[in-house]
């Protein structure tokens, strides 16, 4: 048994030893008091050994076993006011699905989740629950430690994985066909959510995807070690089972315009959920040197085109010795950890604030540190340096200190005069976020967008055009999977009202 397997087995055995007495008490008709539940220890997520996982792209987090899931579920107080639901952008009935886990009814639990969320295996892995549903959890507040809140996301992942692994995935019911047609542009989280909710009402749904595989950012942006692509495909297959039709290699605005889709192809409504795929850059000298990448390109090559598997993929990938990733968000963590797995001897994260201000999930930062990623805080490039062949040789880094808080409440970095120095590296990956691709706003007459290319919508996700709705990153700018899904749910409700 490997060290990873041994750790997982020990965690499950420890949970079993604590769970069995609780189940015996419940079997005698005793009820667990809030004090009993608050005394149950939060369950640790088993993960791959850091030295092992830095050399493979297999999933890092291994998921709860059954005893861990049931013991963690027993920590839930079942609050009648359900503050956790208020923190969920898609309003998953959290206490109800956790109550089913407490009774060992895992299929019933996942069916409850799917009442509002058809992507539970995805959300359970990549949603920032610690800033949403778990932030509102009464258990975390009672213990005065939000990190000790009930692990709602891990429980959601558990029941979704259990259903898939047991071969018990069921297709949600669909109402009789209405004869109405809806086009969904983009197969990311927002698009998949709209497709599901509109298909449930009996409307015909055709989903158009620019890439050769569906899934949007979940496929091209999030690495295999955080979100296995087979899981995304399984979630998409559920939609296909509901009657949703997929058309890949379809670039809306080029293959067909929105006007042509509506008028010539006779669709009754269109949803635009194409994401925010236009990367931001530093705007400093040297960004055109060989060895400088946007995180978008770097991750797309690695994830969608499987550059991490050179024996079976023909995707060319730049070989790095010392890679530097600029940024402090989840995408920066993904890029840094992927560079390590692609063979870099050393990977540095360059961030102009401190760890406390990093927008990345704490779990992702901790995993990166465990794997040996080096963090250079209070630094930012003045310029990227190159040799006479136009290849990266390093950067001039400026040192900073934190000053007064900016408009977002974070303390602003202030340059320290005379502190710039040369940092040696051969690869620079820029992970500063994304903006909206202006293709659709430029090819669709009267479709209003702001100066950053984000499509403007009202409270019902309706655009400036009749029968055209939008949501997700093309409206929000780069956001999270679950926020995009929340916008998708609102848009789907509006479309269903329109077609009723």
CB 280 within 8 A of CB 433: yes
| Tokens 């109405």 -> residue | 180
CB 331 within 8 A of CB 433: yes
Q: For position 2, what pLDDT does the model report?
A: 61
DSSP 405: E
* Tens-binned pLDDT, residue by residue, of the chain (500 aa): 466 777 889 999 999 999 999 999 999 999 999 999 999 999 999 999 998 999 999 999 999 999 999 999 999 999 999 999 999 999 999 999 999 999 999 999 999 999 999 999 999 999 999 999 999 999 999 999 999 999 999 999 999 999 999 999 999 999 999 999 999 999 999 999 999 999 999 999 999 999 999 999 999 999 999 999 999 999 899 999 999 999 999 999 999 999 999 988 899 999 999 988 889 999 999 999 999 999 999 999 999 888 888 888 878 888 999 999 999 999 999 999 999 999 999 999 999 999 999 999 999 999 999 999 999 999 999 999 999 999 999 999 999 999 988 787 878 899 999 999 999 999 999 999 888 888 888 899 999 999 888 999 999 999 999 999 999 999 998 788 999 999 999 999 999 999 99
List the one residue out of 304, 95, 66, 99 whose CA is nearest residue 165.
66
Which two structure tokens, joined as six digits, stand for 1? 């048994």
Same fold, 181-277+436-499 and 281-432: yes
For the beta carbon of residue 202, count every other beta carbon within 10 angstroms.
16
Task: Give the integer Cα–Cα distance in Å for 332 and 412.
Answer: 20
Q: For position 323, what pLDDT does the model report?
A: 98
Of all helices (H) and strands (E), which one includes residue 279?
A: strand 278-279
| pTM value > 0.85 | yes
Enumerate the β-bridge partners of residue 398: 380
Domain 281-432 has CATH 3.40.50.720: no
Rg value, the chain, Cα: 24
Q: For position 325, what pLDDT does the model report?
A: 98
* Widest pairwise Cα distance in the chain: 79
Task: Give the integer Cα–Cα distance in Å for 236 and 119.
Answer: 9
Enumerate the β-bridge partners of residue 185: 208, 272
Domain 3-165 has CATH 1.10.1060.10: yes
Which two structure tokens, joined as six digits, stand for 52? 């092992």
Task: Give the integer Cα–Cα distance in Å for 88 and 46.
Answer: 25
List the one residue out of 93, 78, 224, 215 whose CA is nearest residue 138.
78
Kindly provide the b/e burial profile for residues 232-262, where b requires at least 16 CB atoms within 10 angstroms of the residue's own CB.
Answer: bebbbebbeebebebeeebebbeebbbbebb
Task: Give the integer Cα–Cα distance in Å for 469 and 490.
Answer: 10
Domain boundaries, the chain: 3-165, 181-277+436-499, 281-432
Task: Give the integer Cα–Cα distance in Å for 82 and 243.
Answer: 34
Angle at 62 (CA atoms; ends 310, 5), nearest 5 degrees: 95
Alpha carbon of residue 42 to chain centroid:
23
Matching CATH number, 181-277+436-499, of 3.30.930.10, 3.40.50.300, 3.30.530.20, 3.50.50.60: 3.50.50.60
pLDDT tens-digit map of 77-126? 999 999 999 999 999 999 999 999 999 999 999 999 999 999 999 999 99
- Render 298-365 in DSSP notation, one character per residue: HHHHHHTS-TT-TTT--------SEEEEE--SHHHHHHHHHHHHTT-SEEEEEESS-GGG--S-HHHH
Per-residue CA distances from 169 to 127, 229, 389 (Å): 22, 17, 55
Task: Give the integer Cα–Cα distance in Å for 159 and 114.
Answer: 11
| Tokens 């800033």 -> residue | 131
CB 340 within 8 A of CB 387: no
């Amino acid at each position: 048994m490997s060290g990873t397997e041994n750790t997982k087995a020990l965690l499950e055995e420890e949970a079993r030893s604590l769970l069995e007495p609780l189940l015996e008490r419940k079997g005698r008709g005793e009820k667990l008091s809030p004090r009993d539940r608050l005394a149950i220890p939060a369950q640790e997520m088993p993960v791959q050994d850091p030295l092992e996982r830095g050399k493979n792209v297999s999933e890092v987090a291994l998921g709860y076993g059954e005893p861990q899931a049931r013991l963690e579920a027993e920590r839930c107080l079942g609050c009648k006011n359900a503050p956790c639901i208020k923190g969920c952008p898609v309003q998953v009935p959290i206490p109800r699905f956790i109550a089913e886990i407490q009774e060992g009814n895992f299929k019933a639990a996942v069916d409850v989740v799917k009442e509002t969320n058809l992507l539970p295996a995805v959300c359970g892995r990549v949603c920032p629950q610690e800033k949403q549903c778990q932030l509102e959890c009464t258990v975390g507040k009672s213990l005065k430690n939000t990190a000790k809140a009930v692990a709602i996301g891990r429980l959601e992942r558990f029941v979704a994985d259990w259903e898939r692994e047991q071969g018990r995935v069921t297709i949600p019911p669909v109402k009789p066909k209405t004869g109405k047609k809806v086009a969904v542009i983009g197969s990311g989280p927002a698009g998949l959510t709209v497709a599901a909710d509109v298909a449930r009402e009996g409307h015909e749904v055709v989903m158009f995807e620019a890439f050769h595989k569906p899934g949007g950012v979940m496929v091209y942006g999030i690495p295999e070690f955080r979100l296995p692509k087979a899981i995304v495909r399984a979630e998409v297959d559920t939609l296909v089972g509901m009657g949703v039709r997929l058309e890949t290699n379809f670039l809306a605005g080029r293959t067909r315009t929105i006007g042509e889709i509506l008028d010539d192809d006779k669709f009754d409504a269109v949803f635009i959920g194409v994401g925010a795929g236009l990367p931001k850059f530093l705007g400093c000298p040297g960004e055109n040197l060989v060895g400088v990448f946007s995180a978008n390109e770097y991750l797309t090559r690695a994830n969608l085109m499987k550059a991490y598997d050179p024996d079976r993929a023909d995707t060319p990938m730049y070989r790095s010795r010392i890679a530097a990733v600029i940024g402090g968000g989840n995408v920066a963590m993904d890029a840094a950890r992927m560079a390590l797995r692609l063979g870099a001897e050393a990977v540095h994260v360059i961030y102009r604030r401190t760890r406390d201000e990093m927008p990345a999930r704490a779990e992702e930062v901790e995993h990166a540190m465990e794997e040996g990623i080096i963090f250079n805080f209070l630094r930012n490039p003045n310029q990227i340096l190159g040799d006479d062949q136009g290849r990266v040789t390093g950067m001039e880094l400026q040192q900073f200190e934190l000053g007064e808080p900016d408009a977002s409440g974070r303390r602003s970095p202030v340059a320290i005069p005379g502190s710039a120095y040369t940092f040696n590296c051969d690869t620079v990956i820029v992970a500063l976020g994304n903006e909206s691709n202006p293709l659709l706003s430029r090819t669709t007459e009267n479709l209003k967008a702001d100066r950053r290319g984000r499509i403007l919508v009202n409270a019902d996700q309706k655009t400036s055009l009749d029968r055209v709705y939008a949501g997700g990153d093309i409206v929000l700018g780069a956001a999270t999977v679950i926020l995009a899904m929340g916008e998708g749910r609102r848009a789907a409700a509006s479309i269903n009202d329109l077609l009723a």
